[in-house]
Amino acid sequence: MANEKILIADDDKNICELLRLYLAKEGYTTCIANDGEAAFAAFEKEKPNLVLLDIMMPKMDGWEVCRKIRAVDNTPVIMLTAKGETFDKVLGLELGADDYVVKPFDSKEVVARIKAVLRRCVPAQAAPDGVISYDNLSVDLTRYELKVKGNVVDAPPKELALLYYLASHPNRVFTRDQLLDEVWGFEYYGDSRTIDVHVKRLREKLEGTSDQWSLKTVWGVGYKFEVKE
């Protein structure tokens, strides 16, 4: 049985109770918040293993709560959005959301997604070493730190994770869908534009760093971290 703690943040108390019941049945501990301010306060106090975060909430919307969470922690976040609401997948991913579910949803699907996200988000200390280094480049997933020519460069968690994954498999070509599955885990809702946006931003940060390696586009296929033999 699971023993992780899940924070459910939604202003619909019926949805919160339904999710609480399903998650309790699966062995999860839950805490509930019905507005954005309460959600972030509960996040700080309860230190959950994962957050289910509704977008449209009073006092503070889910976007802002996600921003505040990502400013201090890398806890997995699954966004909840009502059918018909405008949901910008790229914005959600750039803010650091790990997945999202559209209402009305099947509670079993939500539980399955929670399990999948928790499996992917292994604590950094469990990763072997967690540091990838090349000429003038260091990607440290234990500290979520990117160093270029010895200087720390700001990078969102998903940019770091994408660069780490590509650099961990030098000269191997990955399609956009493969990268979405491996780094984000978006099995059904992956948007290939997300990879393009993140690679573009990484290239801007890495430009001129080294002539020993580069982020290469393989036209018609995807991307690779190319290292000179």
CATH number where 80 lies = 3.40.50.2300
Of 120, 146, 167, the last residue of a domain is 120
Same domain, 112 and 169: no
Q: Which residues contact 50 (CB under 8 A, 6 or more apart)?
A: 4, 6, 7, 75, 76, 77, 78, 114, 117, 118, 121
Mark whether 87 and 165 lie in a shared domain: no
Q: Are residues 83 and 180 in the same domain?
A: no
- pLDDT for res 95: 67
Structural domains counted in the chain? 2
The verdict on 49 and 72 lying in the same domain is yes
Claim to verify: residue 114 and residue 133 sit in the same structural domain: no
Tally the C-alpha atoms within 13 A of residue 121's C-alpha that lie toward its C-beta: 23
Domain CATH for 135: 1.10.10.10
Which residue range is the domain that position 74 belongs to? 5-120
Are residues 61 and 101 part of one domain? yes
H or E element that contains 140: strand 137-140
Q: How far apart are CA 204 and CA 154, in angstroms?
A: 12
pTM value? 0.56
Query: What pLDDT does residue 72 have?
Result: 79
Indicate whether 179 and 102 sit together in one domain: no
Is the same domain home to 107 and 22?
yes
Q: Which one, of 100, 123, 106, lies nearest residue 187 by Cα?
A: 100
- Final residue before a domain boundary, out of 66, 88, 120: 120
| Domain closes at, from 64, 92, 120 | 120
Please tell me whether residues 31 and 98 are part of one structural domain.
yes
Q: Are residues 48 and 139 in the same domain?
A: no
Averaged pLDDT, groups of 10, the chain, 229 residues long: 81 91 90 93 91 90 86 82 61 70 83 80 50 88 86 87 88 83 64 82 91 88 84
pLDDT of res. 124: 38
